[in-house]
Amino acid sequence: MKIATWNINGVKARIDTVLAWLRETSPDIACFQEIKSVDENFPSSAFEELGYNVATHGQKGFNGVALLSKLPLEDIQRGLPGDEADQQARYIEASVSAENGALRVGCLYLPNGNPLGSEKFPYKLQWMDRLIAHAKLRLLDETPFLLLGDYNVIPDPIDARNPAAWSGDALFQPESRARFRALTHLGFTEAVRATTDAPETFTFWDYQAGAWQKNNGIRIDHILLSPQASDRLNGCGIDKHVRGWEKPSDHVPVWVDLAA
């Protein structure tokens, strides 16, 4: 079973690219971030024609997350628990029933947190605290659970071509990185680093300053696997080539292959 995550940076702008990738790779489940669309305007029919069931948690103009699955989506939860006043569409979760039993998938678009010194950084840290609390509860039922998405966190210096350039950025602050470690230390396996320790393993290249051409990238898109999910891990990959397509997102897909 192939399960993927991708910050598509706007479904309207990227629909042809996204459909081409789905036809090429045919993941069983795809988690999208930054769909930048309200639910009623999301082009679900285009994905349904490829055999996907679709669930969205959208927002006009920015944010927004979506789940696509070849299997029926069950028990869909929209929004991260812990703050009923939070109106930003950044989290969606659902279960699917596979051959080896049910598994649960959480798709997240973690707050960027910039600029430092504004209210956006405390919001990022509070959101991460809520994610940690939610993940603790999900681990209790021992159902295979995956947390996939754009975490907006560079975990370690190896995950940036030029770490010093990110020293003043919310993505690389000690507080952000410490919370990411706290999340993984609950018992999750971070799929990419469980399968490779290679440097220059990136998932994001800015549109500015020739970052793609210079391979000036960072790794901020992650897949975390609960112990029950990591027991089924067959492989993991990053579809880097998609960044070179016409009208690309600044992120690329990351995927895992789990025993069905």
Q: What is the DSSP string of 187-248?
A: T-EEHHHHH---SS--SEE-SSTTTTTTT-EE--EEEEE-HHHHTTEEEEEE-GGGGGSSS-
- pLDDT value of position 251: 98
The number of folded domains in the chain is 1
The amino acid at 226: S
d(CA 157, CA 218): 9
Q: Please give the residue range of the domain that contains residue 102.
A: 2-258
Q: Which of 150, 159, 169, 257 is catalytic?
A: 150
Does pLDDT of 260 surpass 80?
Answer: no
- Which tens digit of pLDDT belongs to each residue from 235-255? 999 999 999 999 999 999 999
24: domain CATH number is: 3.60.10.10
Q: Tell me the pTM.
A: 0.98
- In sequence order, which residues have a C-beta less than 8 Å from that of residue 90 and are 6 or more positions away? 57, 63, 65, 80, 108, 109, 110, 111, 127
- Which tens digit of pLDDT belongs to each residue from 112-127? 999 999 999 999 999 9
For residue 257, name the pLDDT band (cuts at 50, 70, 90): very high
Specify which residues 51 forms β-bridges with: none
Q: Which of 28, 52, 251, 257 is catalytic?
A: 251
- Which tens digit of pLDDT belongs to each residue from 132-153? 999 999 999 999 999 999 999 9
d(CA 61, CA 83): 22
- Which tens digit of pLDDT belongs to each residue from 25-66? 999 999 999 999 999 999 999 999 999 999 999 999 999 999
The pairing of strands 29-33 and 2-7 is: parallel
Q: Which of 52, 109, 134, 257 is catalytic?
A: 109
Packing angle of the helix pair 120-140, 174-184 (nearest 10 deg): 10
- pLDDT value of position 147: 98
Residue ranges for the known binding site are 7, 34, 150, 152, 250-251
Q: What is the mean pLDDT of the chain?
A: 97
Percent of residues, the chain, with pLDDT higher than 70: 100
Tell me whether residue 251 is one of the annotated catalytic residues: yes
Q: Using alpha carbons, list the distances in angstroms from residue 5 to 115, 121, 165.
A: 26, 24, 26
Tell me whether residue 109 is one of the annotated catalytic residues: yes
For residue 178, name the pLDDT band (cuts at 50, 70, 90): very high
Mean pLDDT for the stretch of residues 207-213: 96
Please provide the size of the chain in residues: 260
Does pLDDT of 230 surpass 90?
Answer: yes
